Structure 1
């Protein structure tokens, strides 16, 4: 395994697995796989009782200074900044959509819903709810802009992913890591079922779990 691949997998190791992320509200990106980061939130934040204080700090900084390079003197520093934005808005478009969806699975933010209600835009205009929604959208756009800028700077300095756009080698490594995680998660679920006596072989034909009774010496 090359040094580049090891570094990539180390970066991926910082990302939460899909299922545990469901219980980690603070770690969820403010965009979801459906709609994607490119679609950006379609639901007004006021409908979900949220305010601008809940916009991640990394995005508020991006709004104020999207092209700031203070303290980013190394590829590692750039990579960390890119990862912070990733945690806020999800994977970048340099990763194929299928892999982006696998990374984002289960990390749906609480202020995003998957459907769009017709004519809601008109209602928002009448109610005056657009100001806060625009603030959220601007924060997401600023994050995407800053991430692209940082990767461009990283690429010009010869940095590796995530401090630069992903190459075919990086994507292959990401796919392999996601496959490994999927296998690990499936094996973990299987082990849990075995511990609970929930394997199919431990059930009756009606699906009722079979519980073995302890044998006590001397009893008939």
Structure 2
């Protein structure tokens, strides 16, 4: 199978998994109005689900460009600050300032862990993501070596270290927020 055809099939699989129209398809024993009702419930219950799927699809599709050094992801400034000093309280004397910092970190890292939330997984989405990654990652022969030579692998390690520091900082700030008896929300 040619590389172009492999990429095409991978893109089609991702598009099918990401399609909000699939959520509105009627089941065999379900009317179209019931299916639309179910689709709106899904959209209301999980407002960021389709946006997240599209972001993942774009990230997977742009991976070869990052692998060969044509594109780079920049470390967001809030994560760079966390990487430089994750336990600093400089400029964070008030509850409002602590809350604003945690909110900024949430914007980059995604929502924090919440006790009592049930783990939900979109199995079809995960399968499509795995298939897309497999196809896209097979485009570049000797991918690991290419990533090291072009600087993509060190850049990913730097991004992962910044994310780890951001997670540590968010946990630290939430602890300080709790210890100070703050009532502000994140």
Task: Give the TM-score of the pair, scaled to structure 2.
Answer: 0.49
TM-score (normalizing by structure 1):
0.43
Rg comparison, structure with higher value: 1
Of structures 1 and 2, the one scoring higher in RCO (CA 8 A, sep 6+) is 2
